[in-house]
A = this chain, B = another copy of it.
Amino acid sequence: MTQDLAAVEQQVAELRAQLDALHRRVPSNKLSMVVFSGDLDRALAAFIIATGAVAMGMEVVMFFTFWATPILRDAGKKVKDKDLMGKMFGAMLPKGACAVKLSKMNMGGLGTTMMKHLMKQKNVASLDQMIALAGELGVQIYVCELSMELMGFKREEMIDYPSMDFCGVAKFLEEAMDSRVQLFI
Chain A residues in contact with chain B, CB under 8 A?
Answer: 1-2, 4-5, 8-9, 11-12, 15-16, 18-19, 22-23, 25-27, 29, 31, 34, 36, 38, 41-42, 45, 48-49, 52-53, 55-56, 58, 65-67, 85, 88, 92-93, 103-105, 114-115, 118-119, 122, 124, 146, 149-150, 168-170, 172-174, 176-177, 179-185
> What are 20 A-B contacts defined by CB distance under 8 Å?
A1-B2, A4-B5, A25-B26, A25-B29, A27-B180, A31-B173, A34-B45, A36-B41, A41-B67, A49-B172, A55-B170, A56-B173, A56-B174, A58-B177, A92-B105, A122-B149, A124-B146, A124-B150, A177-B180, A184-B184
C-alpha gap A31/B168 in the complex (Å): 17
Residue of B nearest to A93 (CB): B105
* Cross-interface CB contact of A52 among B169, B179, B180, B183, cutoff 8 Å: B169
Per assembly, the copies of the chain total 3
C-alpha gap A173/B8 in the complex (Å): 40
Q: Are B15 and A16 in contact (CB under 8 A)?
A: yes
* Cross-interface CB contact of A5 among B5, B36, B41, B85, cutoff 8 Å: B5
Q: Are A150 and B15 in contact (CB under 8 A)?
A: no
C-alpha gap A149/B124 in the complex (Å): 11
In the complex, how many angstroms separate the beta carbon of A6 from the nearest chain B beta carbon? 9
C-alpha gap A29/B174 in the complex (Å): 11
Note all chain B residues with C-beta closer than 8 A to A88: 114
